[in-house]
Amino acid sequence: MEKKTRTEIAALGQFGLIERLTRDFPLADASSLRGAGDDAAVIAPPAGETVLCTTDALYEGVDFDLTYFPLKHLGYKVVTAAVSDILAMNATPSQLLLSLGVSSKLPVEALDDLYEGVRLACREARVDLVGGDTRASMTGLVISATALGHAPRERIVGRGGAQANDLVCITGNLGAAYMGLRLLEREKRVLAGVANPEPQFGGYEYLLERYLKPRPRTDIVEALRTEGILPTAMIDLTDGLASDLLQVCRASQCGVRIYLDRLPIARQTSALAEEMHADPVVAALHGGEDYELLFTVPLVMQEQIMKSGLVDVIGHITPASTGCFLVTPDGGEIRLKAQGFPEGETAIKN
């Protein structure tokens, strides 16, 4: 940032800043009739479809640390966090509204970087930025993102539809984002006070990407639609597999068995966990911020879901009276508990 010209926000004023940040966001979705520039966006969902809406708020020092979080990546991740909630309802994200609380320590160029990441994520997710607001903040950078989406009413999936014998499916792998955060926090501590810090990230680039720039799983929702697969329950993995799966079980009034040897864990996750004397299974169960999708499907779809190659089947739904457990290879059972990130560590939450 020191190499760039520094423009104070006050030099542009509120409306000049908003115009600068939103000028390169052309509307692409057919449901976006009018975007930024008026008092309100105008949205017309496709005929016969229902509108979905969700919002997230992120606070500097609580949900992200600008010491090591590049603003371009933060902008990208903000979009992922917002649209992931729409995807978790088996719907198509279409619009985004973004509001900022900005302290005077950030120049205009920093916000340009933030919105560059927002623009890239919106383009990849095929989402239109249609509005928002910018205000002064006395507590650091604050970001509020509201995502809109749409889907036929009969295809909307919540957390409360899982039935006994349904298969538990997840996309991607688990724990990588958490270990990426652990790596960043370690290097921050080690290099505190060093004049020219050179963090050691070699061999763990994948973990950093999973934490700093997670990609929304728009491909999964599209593939499920193409394959004719309608989940019975669905949630995005933001608080950790154990916590999010328990939310599904609570909403569906059911139990679950998931199997330790079926949990997908990336090699870099296991390698860094070993280096840090940590347990990769704990990272997978409780790490959070994976932004993968967890969903259930009827047992009769087992062959279809396995052939699709979209997911890993890690367990099955059981009656509520049987409880919620992780099954070890020797047949032992460990009760699932919601834990989340350890105290003192930060995470972007729903």
Q: How far apart are CA 347 and CA 287, in angstroms?
A: 9
Domain 9-153, what architecture? 2-Layer Sandwich (3.30)
Give start-end residues of each CATH 3.90.650.10 domain in the chain: 167-193+204-335
Mind listing the pLDDT tens digit of every residue in the chain (350 residues)?
445 677 766 666 666 666 666 777 778 878 888 777 777 888 888 888 999 999 999 999 999 999 999 999 999 999 999 999 999 999 999 999 999 999 888 988 999 999 999 999 999 999 999 998 888 898 899 999 999 999 999 999 999 999 999 999 999 999 999 999 999 999 999 888 777 778 888 899 999 999 999 999 999 999 999 999 999 999 999 999 999 999 999 999 999 999 999 999 999 999 999 999 999 999 999 999 999 999 999 999 999 998 888 899 999 999 999 999 999 999 999 999 987 444 334 333 33
| DSSP labels, 275-303 | HTT--HHHHHHH------EEEEE-GGGHH
pLDDT tens digits for 221-280?
Answer: 999 999 999 999 999 999 999 999 999 999 999 999 999 999 999 999 999 999 999 999
User: Helix, strand, or coil here: 239?
Assistant: coil
Contact 72, 213 (CB under 8 A): no
The segment(s) of the chain belonging to CATH 3.30.1330.10 are 9-153
pTM, entire model: 0.88
Fold held by 167-193+204-335: Phosphoribosyl-aminoimidazole Synthetase; Chain A, domain 2 (3.90.650)
What residues have CB less than 8 Å from 3, skipping those under 6 apart?
none
Indicate the length of the chain as a whole number. Answer: 350
H helices of the chain, in order, are 9-22, 71-87, 108-125, 176-190, 205-212, 218-227, 241-252, 267-275, 280-286, 302-308
3-state secondary structure of 151: strand
CB atoms within 10 A of CB 186: 15
